[in-house]
Amino acid sequence: MGDEQPSTFQPSLVERVAVRGFNLLNRFIPWYKLPGILGAFNLAILRVELRGKNLFSTYPSGQALGSQDTHPTDERYLTARHSDGRDNSLEMPLMGCAGTRFGRNFPRSHCKKPSEEELWTPNPALVSARFMARREDEFKPASTLNLLAAAWIQFQTHDWFNHEDSDEKFSIPLPPKHDWPESHMSLPKTAVDTTYKAFDGKCPAYRNANTAWWDGSQIYGSSEATTTKLRDGAMDGKLRLNDNGVGAFILRDAQNVPQTGFSTNWWVGMEMLHTLFALEHNAICDKLKEVHPDWTSDRIFDKARLVNCALMAKIHTVEWTPAILAHPALQIGMNANWWGLAGETLMKLVGRIAPNSEIISGIPGSGVDNDGVPYSLTEEFVSVYRMHSLIPDNIAFFDARRGEHQKTVPISTVAFEHAQTPVDPVPKGGLGLDFADVFYSFGINYPGAITNNNYPAFLRDFTDPKGIRRDLGTVDILRDRERSVPRYCEFRRMLRMSVPTTFEEIVGGVAGKDGAKRQKLALDLADVYGGDISKVDAMVGMHSEPLIDGFGFSETAFRIFIVMASRRLKSDRFIAGRWDEDMYTREGLAWVQNSTMKDVLVRHFPCLKETLAKSDNAFAPWAKMDGSKPYRGRETNVVA
């Protein structure tokens, strides 16, 4: 039995002609050098090509994901999300639900289980030390973003994917002169799904412990049991919050673990966003209760969750993404993903002018389409979202009402069990701030740039709450290899991109401005990878390649994003399918379409209204208040 299940997606004749035409044009002019609207069309056609050539299921057939006969749908979930993700598709009820497999963007024949030599060559800890470590006082800021953007993407990925750990462990050998006292690093292996072992052949498959849908599972949980627990004792469809409703998110258990849908890798950024969107859920409940006073608590909850999830999807699509990919074609393209090329104004005035066209009228309401392969997130999608470089070494906190600097603390002091420190009272060892202060501070702090040698020291040597000491740089490299993500050159080849033949080509050449730095990087790559360019790890190559103007991450990573970002919307029947007032209610649909991230922040923290009114995008650096402008701290991650 073979292990290849490619997409059966068939582009139209017009699309096939357009693919050939743009492929020819791009030999001479890349998409990002075309005028904005033409570049946006180029990306739309590139997405068509990727849908046909870069989607692969890791299941033998769609029947592996269930049918109405074997998994009948509870009537409630015809119009509500099930917490484990089932019943999003009524034809394949288990598609995308918790416990199902990750897919692939590349043929599985090119994603074979690595040999021992491939797994350890070169040593992943050596790669981390040479290409991840942030040197002292050499923080590289992403000056077009703020720290809220860094917190946001972790908040979102916690909703999308989470591999299961095995009981078996790696013992990672550390290179000579490594700065750890131990000679090895222990790390749980990823659990392999052996359900269809004969079908899987030489390419293992792995399960996603989360749902793969844009369904707020990081807040609501990936099981109905978790959701029920998080609602326990709350009225009118709400989630439990602490007494004052604006402090720490919901409750902590006896071990000080946040009681939320996903609480791993916790820090103050997660504390903020989980709190914010739990508050948003409850505000939606209040609105629904006002309009529908006879509704049950379950019905209010179901509709509020639909609205809250759709709002997060919209914010990510039309606000976060254009902030980190600030290119004219992307501004047009991402807005078109949601509103269509017809635009937001026309959509709000007359609705969908081309009901079934995602290009003209946007993906929401355009009709569900799985692009010829059962929906899942992919191993390569997980790989390109390794963005730990975004985390700075320190966070400078300011007062949100006057703008005055309060205190600067290392990132390690606001992580894990210390995540509440900024909002804890001073007598209890906290900073005595409120969430408005913390959000303002994140709005004017820079994150790190997604590039080489920009991992904070904290993430390269920390012990998590389970007692596992790890270096995330080493972990990131090893996970890609373990899960058979192709290395950089093969990764690009499978995307039909140009493939470098020298280390100098990877870094963009060694002439002109910064040529000496790029020459050194090329030499370092050649040294660590033994002169064999085919061995360069995907993440190292993506961090080394020159960026398109305005981009916060590599074009190689972006190619995966092009196909998967729209797929998350297009496969979801609660977004691409029933996008109407019957499903969301009139007030719920208006809540989504008329709210931005700035609106959400001001709704719960009104004192932020003045500074946000002067800021174009909530994920770009905020306008500083007068009290913040004299600040002259030594941190390079505070907006000048």
Binding residues for heme b: 388
Instruction: Say if residues 170 and 186 touch (Cβ distance below 8 Å).
Output: yes
For residue 402, give the 3-state DSSP assignment.
Answer: coil
- In sign, the C-alpha dihedral spanning 210, 211, 214, 215 is negative
The catalytically annotated residue of 158, 163, 274, 418 is 158
Instruction: Say if residues 387 and 539 touch (Cβ distance below 8 Å).
Output: no
Q: Which residue has the tokens 């030499």?
A: 523
Q: Which helix (H) or strand (E) holds 337?
A: helix 328-339
Nearest to 553 by CA among 312, 326, 335, 313: 326
For residue 273, give the 3-state DSSP assignment.
Answer: helix
Which parts are annotated binding residues? Answer: 388
For 305, how many CA atoms within 13 A lie in the half-sphere containing its CB? 29
CA distance 349 to 343: 10
Instruction: Say if residues 100 and 65 touch (Cβ distance below 8 Å).
Output: yes
CA distance 126 to 124: 5
Looking at residue 411, its amino acid is I
Nearest to 527 by CA among 252, 130, 198: 130
CA distance 434 to 146: 19
Q: Which helix (H) or strand (E) holds 53?
A: helix 36-53
Looking at residue 409, its amino acid is V
For residue 164, give the 3-state DSSP assignment.
Answer: coil
Distance of alpha carbon 640 from its chain centroid, rounded?
A: 28
Q: Which residue has the tokens 């009104």?
A: 606
Beta strands in 464-570 (DSSP E): 469-470
Contacts of 467 (CB under 8 A, 6+ apart): none
- Specify whether 158 is catalytic: yes
CA distance 366 to 358: 5
Euclidean distance between the first and final Cα of the chain, in Å?
60
Instruction: Say if residues 68 and 87 touch (Cβ distance below 8 Å).
Output: no
Nearest to 311 by CA among 342, 273, 368: 273
Query: What is the pairing mode between strands 165-173 and 184-190?
Result: antiparallel
For 290, how many CA atoms within 13 A lie in the half-sphere containing its CB? 8
Looking at residue 348, its amino acid is K
DSSP 8-state secondary structure symbol assigned to residue 622:
P
CA distance 251 to 235: 16
Instruction: Say if residues 402 and 450 touch (Cβ distance below 8 Å).
Output: no
Contacts of 150 (CB under 8 A, 6+ apart): 269, 387, 390, 391, 447, 448
Q: Which helix (H) or strand (E) holds 458?
A: helix 457-460
CA distance 255 to 74: 36
Nearest to 639 by CA among 25, 136, 148, 96: 148
**Partners of residue 190 on adjacent β-strands:** 165
Q: Could you give the residue numbers annotated as active site?
A: 158
